Amino acid sequence: MKKYKVGFTVGTYDLFHVGHLNLFREAKKYCEYLIVGVHSDEWVIHCKNRATVIPYEDRADIVGAIRYVDEVVKNETRSKMEAWKKYHFDVAFIGDDWKGTEVWDKIEAELKSVGCDVVYIPYTKGISTTQIRQQLKEQSATKNEKK
């Protein structure tokens, strides 16, 4: 028997990598049913001021194909409380690089007020979508210099 019935995590999951997989794998160890919110293309443009490389539908398909994920939902809000009201999860998962931040301290307090825990999953060192984007940019620049 796992500690929680329903778990929730959310992200963009653009340029899917092993860090994303590790988050889902570790989260699933804690809960019977894992819901993963995938940010819509519009949300990413509005909140991150950049477009995704992979469109929402494809990102949702990729995430949904991961055996640790039980359900994929489209996310269009920053509010974890709004997500909680929709999905009634008893635990939210986030990378431990967010632990102790002002933003997540506030979210954790809000979720705790409705009986929902937050579990911080160890961040996978050495990989991130930002790093992949930077590497692609550098490789492209190097390639163009050689022309």
For 17, 81, 105, the CA distances from 127, given in Å and listed in that order, are: 8, 29, 25
What pLDDT was estimated at residue 143? 66
Residues 6+ away with beta carbon under 8 Å from 56 = 38, 39, 40, 41, 74
d(CA 5, CA 32): 5
For 17, 30, 109, 144, the CA distances from 66, given in Å and listed in that order, are: 12, 16, 30, 36
What pLDDT was estimated at residue 147? 64
**Residue linked to tokens 């992979």:** 54
User: Each residue of 6-53: pLDDT tens digit?
Assistant: 999 999 999 888 999 999 999 999 999 999 999 999 999 999 988 999
Q: Is the pLDDT of residue 126 over 90?
A: no
Q: Is the pLDDT of residue 127 over 90?
A: no
Report the run of H or E that residue 75 belongs to, with start and end: strand 71-75
Report the run of H or E that residue 92 belongs to, with start and end: strand 91-95
What pLDDT was estimated at residue 120? 97
* Beta-bridge partners for 71: 35
What pLDDT was estimated at residue 130? 74
* Beta-bridge partners for 7: 34, 91
User: Each residue of 59-103: pLDDT tens digit?
Assistant: 999 999 999 999 999 999 999 999 999 999 999 999 999 999 999
pLDDT band at residue 1 using 50, 70 and 90 as cut-offs: confident
CB 22 within 8 A of CB 48: no
Q: What type of residue sits at position 63?
A: V
